[in-house]
Structure 1
Amino acid sequence: MTALFALLLLVACGGGEGGGGDAPDTGAATDDVGVGDVESPDSGGGGALSARVALQFEPGEGRAILVEVALAWEGAEAPPMNTWIDALEVTAAYGVLDELSEVSPGRYRATLLPPEEDEAGDIWTGEIPVTARVVVSGEVVAEQRRVPLVLPFRMEGLGQPEAVPGLVNTPGMEDSPEVSPDGELIIIGSYSPVDLGYCQVQGTAVDAVGCNHNTYDPSARPDMFGAARIVDGETIVHAIDSLGYDPSTFPTPIATPPVASFGFRRQPDGSYAEPFVLGGDAEGYTWNQTYGYTFDPVVAGRVFFSFNEISDTPDTLNDMWQVDMVVGEVNRFGYYEEGELRGWQGVRVPIADPTSVCGEAACEYGNPNITAERLWFDNERQTDDIFFVDVTRDAQGVAVAFSPPARAAFSQAERGETMPHWHGGFLYYMCGQSVCRSRLLEGADPRLDASWEPEQELLSGTTRIPWQLKGGRSGRVVATSEPSVADVEVDGEVQTWLHFGYIMQVHYGAGDLDFGGNWNMGRVRIRDGWSKRGDDGRLRSPGR
C-alpha cells in the first residue's frame, strides 16, 4: 500500500529467474487485451466511471527496464481514484518486478530486472509480456498488455525495444516488415502461419510436420491468398492448381505453405490492426511472393517491392516493381492462371547492366527503399551488398528513370549488408545479425569511402551460443534485421521510432529437426538529439 492512496498496488511476476523453461510465449504476445474504455460500477460519485490503463517502457540501468503505468478515468463527477479502484496489478512473465511507486497522480513506475542468464548458460534474451490491470469490486475493468524486448545489445541513446503491439505479430512468420514514413501503416512483406524455418529444417517435405503445422487465424489475416489450402491446424494442401503444381506427380516435390503480404493501420493507442492483403495471387505459393515493400514519399499510395515473375524467360530472379495500392482493401496486383501471370499491375524498375551488381544477368534486386531522389536496394542471397540508383521523376512525381547502379562504399563484401533504409541523413541496414547505420555526408557521393561516417551498431541478436537446436533456450533472440524508421505524431509530439525485425529460436520437441524460428516486428524510440554527429555511445549487456 502506498502512503498516499488507500489502494492496493500489486506487482507480481511469473516465471522467475529461470525464464519459464523452454516454451516461449509465441502466441499473441503483442495483443492488447480490453483495448478502450470499460465502465466500472457506480462509485457513488454521481455516475458510472470509465477507466483506461496504458503501459510504456524506458531503459533503466544496465539491463533493467522501467515499467511505467498511466491511469485515466472519466466521469461527470470523478472522485479520487482511491475511492473506487481496488487494485492496480502489474505482472511480468519473466524476471523480477519491484514495488510500484507513484511518479505523479495517476502515473506509476516499477523496475523490471530480466534474468541474467538462461538455463543453457547464454545471456537471457527474448520477449517479456507485461500486463497492467485495473480491478474494481473484484472485476478487471481495464487491461493492457505490452511486450518489452531484451536484446543482447542496444546502443546507448535508444529507448527500450518492444514488440509492435496489435495484430502484426503472430506465432507464424512476420518477415520483411516496413513502416511508412509517418508511422500510420505497416506492411509485412512475408507472412506465413507456418514456421518456414521449421519447414526447411525438415527438408521442405510435403508430409513434414513442420511444413503443415500452422496457426492460421482468418480474423487476423483476412482474404489471405492460399488460405483455402489450409485444411486445419496440422494439414495443408500443397498442390497449387493455378501453377499446375501437383506434388504427387512432380519429380522433386516440395512443400508450399501459404505466404502473403499484409498491411496494417495504426490505431489511437499506438497498436496496429485492420489487416488487409496485398500482392500477386499465386494461391500463396511459398517461394514466389512479393516482399521488401517501401513507401514512395512523393506519390501517395505508391509502393515499391521485390518480386520474381516466374514465367519470365530467361528467369531474371527478383526484380523491383512499383504499383499503387489502396489501404484497407484487397490489393490483388495480378494472378496466375495455367502458370502464366495475368492482369499484372506492377511496373518493373529497369536496372541497366545487372552484371555491375551481381556479376551476371540473373540478379537479385531485393529489399528496395525509395526516397525522393534515390532508390536503395540489395542483392540478398548473392554477395549481400547494398546498391543505389538515382531517380528522375516526372511532373506528377512518378519515378520514371533510373541511373546505372552503383555500390555503396561502406558495404563490405566479406560480411554482408542488406535491407537498406534511408532516414534523416543515415542509411540503416542489416549487418550480419545486427542492425547498423552509417551517415552519408551531405551532398557526398555514396560510391566513395570518404563520403560515409563510421558505422554504428544499433541493435544485435548475436549471443554466446549459435542458433541450433540443443545449443540454446527456446524463445531467445538470435537475430535482428529489416530496419525502417518513422516520425510518428503522438499526442501532438513527433517521435522518431526505429522499427526492425527480430527472430526468436523456437523448440517444438526433443528431436534434432524439431526447431525453427518466430519472425516478429519490434520497435524502439530514437530520442531527440541522439542522431547528432559524433554520437557513438554504447551499452552492452553483461557477457558480451
Structure 2
Amino acid sequence: MQTVFRLCLICAITTLFSCGGGSGNSNNNTVWKVELAFSRVDNPSGLDPFTVDATILRDGSPTAGLQPLIQLGRGTHDAVSDLGDGRYRFTVTPDQTGEYPVTVSFETGSLTRTALVLKSVHADWGQPMSVPGLVNTEGYEDGATITPDGQYLFVQTGPQYFSGLFVFLAPRANGGCGGDRLNPVICHHPWLDTLPGTYTAPERPGFFDGRFSGSTFLHNSNAFGIDIDQAPIFAFATMFYGFKKQPDGSFSEPFYVAFDDLNDAIANPFGMSFRMNADGSATMIFAHNDGDPGAVVDQDNDNLTAAVDSGFDVYTLDITPGQNTSLGQYTVGNPPVRGSFFPSAQVNFDKTGTEGAYGTQGNPHLYVLNDGSIDSIWTDDEFDGDDADPGNDSDIGDLSVYTLSSG
C-alpha cells in the first residue's frame, strides 16, 4: 500500500506565554472572571518551576482580599500571596516533565490553563504553554503553522496514537509488527488498534471517518480498495485543521483543509504557508505527492527521457480561512487516481534537472515582501540525499530557494 503522507516527529503544540479569562454569574448577578499569566523560573540544577499570577475580576474590576481555590493536575504549589491589586501569586514546583494543568476558581469564575515542563528551556524563553481552546486532543497534533496575521493556527491532527508507528516498526520478537502488519500473521496492539482521540465535534467536526468504528482503527482504505484489517502498513488517518484566535487568546472554531480521498484521511497537504489577501482570502502553498504514475521528470537535463518520480511537489490554492476547503478529489486506485475536481495547482519549478521538480520539495515557505508581493518560495529537500542518485532519499539538510520570475 502506497501512502501519500509524511511522518513527522510528534510535537506538543505550544506557546511561550499564556493568558486568558473564565467567567460566570452568581445568584446576585455579580460577574466573576479569572485571568491567568505564567512565567518560568530558571532553575540551573533541575526542572524549572513556574509562577502563576491569577487576576480575579468582580464585574470587570480586579478585586483583592479573596481566597481563590487552586487545583493542580500534578506537582505542588506554595502559599498563595495576595498582591493587593487583584492578583494572587503562587509558584508550582514540578516533579517530572510533562503537562501541568492549573485551575484557579472563585465563586462562579474559573479558568484552566496547561503549562508544559520541559527538561531544558533556553534562557530567552518564557513558560511554554499548551495552546488553549480546541486544538489539542488525546490524539495526535503535529505540523503547526500560523497565518502571518496571527489569527489562524493550523495543525495536522488525527485520533490515533503516534506511538503506534514505533510498534509497527519494532521487531516481532520485541512485540512489534516488524514493519508488516500481515505477515507472518496479522499484528495487533492497543497502540495500533485503539483511537484515544476524538474525531467528532466540537474539536474535529467533519473529520473523515471511513477508517474508524467507534474507538477502533480499522486498518483499511476506501481509496486504495483495501478491506478491513488488510492494510500491510500502519497508515495514519490525519487531516489539517485550522482554528480561529479568540478574544481570550485561545483557538477554536475548527475547520478543515483537506483532500477528499473517499473518507480515508490519508492524502494530506504538508508544510502550509500563507499570504493574507485584502479580500479576506489567503493564498496557501503546501507540499503534496499525489502518486500520479505520470508525474515523472527529466532528471539529467538531456531533454530526452523523463524517468524519475517527481516526489513531493509544491501546490497552491486560495482559501477562505474559517471555511472547510477541499483541495481536490481522488477515486479508487493503487495509488488512488486524481478526480475531475482538483482546484489545487502545482507551482511550476520546471520539470527538468536536479534544480527542477525532481525529488522532494517539502515544507514550503512563502516569502512575502512588506508590500504583499511574493519574493520567493523556500523548500526543504528532505529526501534528496544525493542528486546524482535519484533513489537516495536520505536527508542531508539541503534547502532550495526559488525566486519568482513572472506571474
TM-score bracket for this pair, using the shorter chain length: 0.7 to 0.9
CA distance, structure 1, for counterparts of residue 210 and residue 271 of structure 2: 25
Structure 2 residue corresponding to 1:108, chosen from 88, 108, 125: 88
Q: Structure 2 vs 1, CA of residues 100 and 194 (structure 1 numbering), >3 Å: closer, same or farther?
A: same
The residue type equivalent to 2:240 in the other structure is: S
Q: 1:335 corresponds to which residue?
A: 329
Q: 2:254 corresponds to which residue?
A: 275
Q: 1:378 corresponds to which residue?
A: 380
CA distance, structure 1, for counterparts of residue 21 and residue 62 of structure 2: 23
CA distance, structure 2, for counterparts of residue 375 and residue 80 of structure 1: 51
Shift of 1:174: 0.6
CA distance, structure 2, for counterparts of residue 265 and residue 320 of structure 1: 25
Structure 1 residue corresponding to 2:400, chosen from 367, 388, 404: 388
Equivalent positions of 1:11-50 (< 5 A) are 36-42=22-28, 48-50=29-31
Equivalent positions of 1:249-264 (< 5 A) are 253-264=232-243
Q: Secondary structure at the match of 1:329?
A: coil
Q: Structure 2 vs 1, CA of residues 243 and 143 (structure 1 numbering), >3 Å: closer, same or farther?
A: same
1:213 aligns with 2:194: yes
Shift of 1:64: 2.3
Q: 1:490 corresponds to which residue?
A: none
Shift of 1:271: 0.6
Q: Structure 2 vs 1, CA of residues 324 and 174 (structure 1 numbering), >3 Å: closer, same or farther?
A: same
Q: 2:56 corresponds to which residue?
A: 71
Q: Secondary structure at the match of 1:345?
A: coil
CA distance, structure 1, for counterparts of residue 117 and residue 352 of structure 2: 41
Equivalent positions of 1:195-210 (< 5 A) are 195-202=161-168, 203=177, 205=181, 207-210=188-191
Q: Secondary structure at the match of 1:147?
A: strand
The residue type equivalent to 1:99 in the other structure is: A
CA distance, structure 2, for counterparts of residue 329 and residue 393 of structure 1: 32
Contiguous gaps of at least 5 residues in structure 2: 1-11, 13-17, 169-176, 182-186, 297-308, 369-374, 384-393
1:174 aligns with 2:154: no
CA distance, structure 2, for counterparts of residue 276 and residue 108 of structure 1: 37
Q: 2:68 corresponds to which residue?
A: 88
The residue type equivalent to 1:246 in the other structure is: D
What are the Cα deviations for residues 375-416 of structure 1, in whole angstroms up to 9, with x where unaligned?
22212343242423243276xxxxx4xxxxxxxxxxxxxxxx
Q: Structure 2 vs 1, CA of residues 243 and 40 (structure 1 numbering), >3 Å: closer, same or farther?
A: same
Native 8 Å contact 2:55 2:88 kept in 1: yes
Native 8 Å contact 2:236 2:266 kept in 1: no
CA distance, structure 1, for counterparts of residue 63 and residue 115 of structure 2: 31
Native 8 Å contact 2:220 2:226 kept in 1: yes
Q: 2:101 corresponds to which residue?
A: 129
Shift of 1:232: 0.9
The residue type equivalent to 2:317 in the other structure is: V
Equivalent positions of 1:388-537 (< 5 A) are 388-392=400-404, 400=407
Structure 2 residue corresponding to 1:155, chosen from 108, 119, 122: 122
Native 8 Å contact 2:62 2:86 kept in 1: no
CA distance, structure 2, for counterparts of residue 177 and residue 328 of structure 1: 16
Native 8 Å contact 2:138 2:198 kept in 1: no
Of all paired residues, the percent bearing the same amino acid is 26
Q: Structure 2 vs 1, CA of residues 337 and 58 (structure 1 numbering), >3 Å: closer, same or farther?
A: same
CA distance, structure 2, for counterparts of residue 81 and residue 108 of structure 1: 8
Shift of 1:200: 4.4
Q: 1:224 corresponds to which residue?
A: 207
Q: 1:465 corresponds to which residue?
A: none
The residue type equivalent to 2:313 in the other structure is: D
TM-score, reference length from structure 2: 0.74
Structure 2 residue corresponding to 1:367, chosen from 363, 366, 373: 363
Q: 2:388 corresponds to which residue?
A: none
Q: Structure 2 vs 1, CA of residues 262 and 289 (structure 1 numbering), >3 Å: closer, same or farther?
A: same
The residue type equivalent to 1:305 in the other structure is: F
The residue type equivalent to 1:224 in the other structure is: F
Higher relative contact order (CA 8 A, sep 6+): 1
Equivalent positions of 1:235-254 (< 5 A) are 235-246=216-227, 253-254=232-233
CA distance, structure 2, for counterparts of residue 354 and residue 110 of structure 1: 62
Structure 2 residue corresponding to 1:350, chosen from 348, 351, 354: 348
The residue type equivalent to 1:89 in the other structure is: L
Q: Secondary structure at the match of 2:163?
A: helix
Native 8 Å contact 1:240 1:246 kept in 2: yes
Q: Secondary structure at the match of 1:242?
A: coil
Contiguous gaps of at least 5 residues in structure 1: 1-25, 27-31, 43-47, 116-123, 136-140, 395-399, 401-544
1:186 aligns with 2:168: no
Q: 2:319 corresponds to which residue?
A: 325
Native 8 Å contact 1:354 1:363 kept in 2: no
The residue type equivalent to 2:153 in the other structure is: I
Native 8 Å contact 2:64 2:85 kept in 1: no
Q: Structure 2 vs 1, CA of residues 156 and 199 (structure 1 numbering), >3 Å: closer, same or farther?
A: closer
CA distance, structure 2, for counterparts of residue 166 and residue 157 of structure 1: 26
Q: Structure 2 vs 1, CA of residues 274 and 354 (structure 1 numbering), >3 Å: closer, same or farther?
A: farther
Q: Secondary structure at the match of 2:210?
A: helix
Shift of 1:255: 4.0
What are the Cα deviations for residues 114-170 of structure 1, in whole angstroms up to 9, with x where unaligned?
22xxxxxxxx321111111113xxxxx111111111122222222111111111111
Q: CA RMSD in A?
A: 2.9
Q: Secondary structure at the match of 1:263?
A: strand
Q: 2:38 corresponds to which residue?
A: 57
Native 8 Å contact 2:139 2:161 kept in 1: yes
CA distance, structure 2, for counterparts of residue 49 and residue 247 of structure 1: 56
Native 8 Å contact 1:297 1:371 kept in 2: no
